[in-house]
Each structure stands twice: as structure tokens, then as C-alpha cells.
Amino acid sequence: MLDSLNLSKFVTYLNETNNIMSTHMLGLGSKFPAFEKKAVVSLEKDKEFATITAEDHKKDGKWMVMFWWPKDFTFVCPTEIAEFNRRAGDFSDRDALLIGASTDSEFVHAAWRRDHDDLRGLKFPMLADTSKSLAEELGILTEDEKVAYRVTYIVDQDGIIRWVSANDLSVGRNVDEVLRVLDALQTDELCPCNWKAGEATL
């Protein structure tokens, strides 16, 4: 039988274990969670918003690349969003649905797009995980403010996570690397270190 001291230690252990599990980032081989979220898709009046789901890319036989940023109206985030937008055609050429996401609302997304020169002409949806339910299920929320880390997912046509990369809040990511990994995964072959599209596989 557990005495009071050992019971206390056991409860502490369970709490710590539960905390670790609750902050575990969903990774390779996992099924990307089901979701249905509002997104900003345009700045045209009455056409600003649409509903995006986890099934959208699968029904078209496409891959999905979803990249998260912590907050709208910040400094590093628009540099990344603008670069993803500049390369949007490269993702489309690879039959990949590109989605940007944060825990801000669709109304904040729309306001930011109207306010920022580099964001007005975005070619991909800005998903609003206002409830934070998707970010929480992915395990990508920071402990303090509960905003998303700079996490990027590559998901195949069957909804399986094939690549995940996470940056701390202060460091922007490399879009070329996201495309390089997408190219490699789509070969379905063994790709050596520093492999680039067009080079020999193993």
C-alpha cells in the first residue's frame, strides 16, 4: 500500500507525466488532426473568408504544407509570410496546398493584410485557429502565452505527417529548405544529404 509520502510522490509524477504528454508535438507518421477553420482568402468585400478543412487537400490528391507563426502584427512573421507568398507558385507546381496559420482570429488576419504592404496580395489562405484547438492538438503552443511556435508541417495526400520542423519564436525559417524536403519526399526514393531536385537519388 502507498503511504502518504509515496502517494504524494506518485501524484507529482502523474502530473509531470501528463504535462509532458500534453505538450508533446505531433510528429512523423502521425495523422494530421481533423480541422474545420475559418480563413482569410481575399480582401475583396464579401469574399474575405472561407472555411478550410483537413480534407481539402486530400480530395484533390494534393500534399499540404501548413506553416504556423506566433502572432499577427509582429516583426519576423511578415518576412516569412511574404517569402512563402513569393514562392507560392513553387508549392502549387508541386501539387501542394499551402496554408499559413496562427491563433489570431480571421478578423485580425484580415486587418493585418489590409495594413501591411507585403500581405495584401497573398495567394494562400491565412487560417484562424482562434480556439487554439488545432495548435493544441498538434502540441505546438508555447507554455506562457499559448501562441504557436514557428512550426512547418508537410502532409501527404493521405493526411500523414511526413516532415515537421520547429523554430523558436525569434528565428525565421528557410522556405528553400521546405521546398527541398517536399521535393525529396515526392520522389519516394532515398535522397542523400544536401540533395536537390534533379540530382541523382540513391
Q: Report, as residue numbers or ranges, the catalytic residues.
A: 77
Residue whose C-alpha cell reads 496580395 in the numeric block: 121
> 38-49 in b/e burial notation, b at 16+ Cβ within 10 A?
bbbbeeeeeebb
Please give the grid coordinates belonging to residue 8: 504524494
Q: How far apart are CA 202 and CA 191, in angstroms?
A: 6
Contact between residue 51 and residue 36 where contact means Cβ atoms under 8 Å apart: yes
Label residues 96-135 b or e (16+ Cβ within 10 Å = b): bbbbbbbbbbbebbbebbeeeeebeebebbbbbbbeeebb
Distance CA 69, CA 74 (A): 10
Closest among 109, 119, 127 to 50, alpha carbons compared: 127
